Amino acid sequence: MSLTELISGVEAHEMTLTVFNADSDAAADLRERFADRNLTVEAADATDGPREYVVLSKDDEFLTAVGLEEVLNPRRDTEPHFEGARTTILDHLDETMFTSYDIEQMVSASREIEDRAWRIGAGEIHSGFQNVSIIDSQMDVYEQLGSKENLSVHAYGYPDTELPSHDGFVIHAERAEEIAKSWFVVYDGAGVDSNKCALLAEERGDREFYGFWTYDPSTVDWIVDHLTSTYGLIQTDGGSDP
């Protein structure tokens, strides 16, 4: 399975968020809030249920339920996060597709993972930049990450230019289609499941990205294993070493 196939597998399983016993504006508000996600928002009434709650389901399978207020105004005192807030709903939305992220949104999400790797200071982080030329623009960030003695830092890109001079991290120059079209940042959490996280997306339009982020340890492990087993040759200064 490739990175593209993993994205397609997540995309194929659309989730449904049903708003029960709430004002008509509530579903519209959530529909707008999750407009960039592969998520259907519906409104319904339940005579034997409480007021104003939402249910998340996937392929007709119940996932979680929570009060409407917690989704509209989530607590902001919990980490880790990508969007500044976590709720049980957002936990389950980890592997729901976002449908169109621009460069600014992708950079923001990437920074969250890079920041976690920096704070923990150990383990492995693997980042795909599509092209080697883009790695050069992020050199300061990745040399800073590479200064952490116990953090192994890997950057991937299609060799559209000569490898830039760099220190403290490994550049993988790969002539592979999935590398050229994919933007990813994957952190293995230094082996601790609760620390693992990943962002994976592919460019489908002109600098528009479609993909997902996840805190699921098994998904993160699969991506790391795929990258390390598929791209085993390390290109650092123009040469190749096993």
Report whether pLDDT(237) > 50: no
Contact 43, 17 (CB under 8 A): no
Report whether pLDDT(196) > 50: yes
Could you tell me the strand order of the sheet in which 53-58 lies?
Answer: 39-44, 15-20, 53-58, 61-67
List pLDDT tens digits, range 131-181. 999 999 999 999 999 999 999 999 999 999 999 999 999 999 999 999 999
64 falls in which pLDDT band (50, 70, 90)?
confident
pLDDT confidence of residue 240? 38
99-236: CATH, from 3.40.50.800, 3.40.309.10, 3.30.870.10, 3.40.50.720: 3.30.870.10
Q: State the architecture of 3-92 in CATH terms.
A: 3-Layer(aba) Sandwich (3.40)
List pLDDT tens digits, range 103-136. 998 999 899 999 999 999 999 999 999 999 999 9
Domain ranges of the chain: 3-92, 99-236
CA distance 48 to 39: 26
Q: Which pTM value belongs to this model? A: 0.79
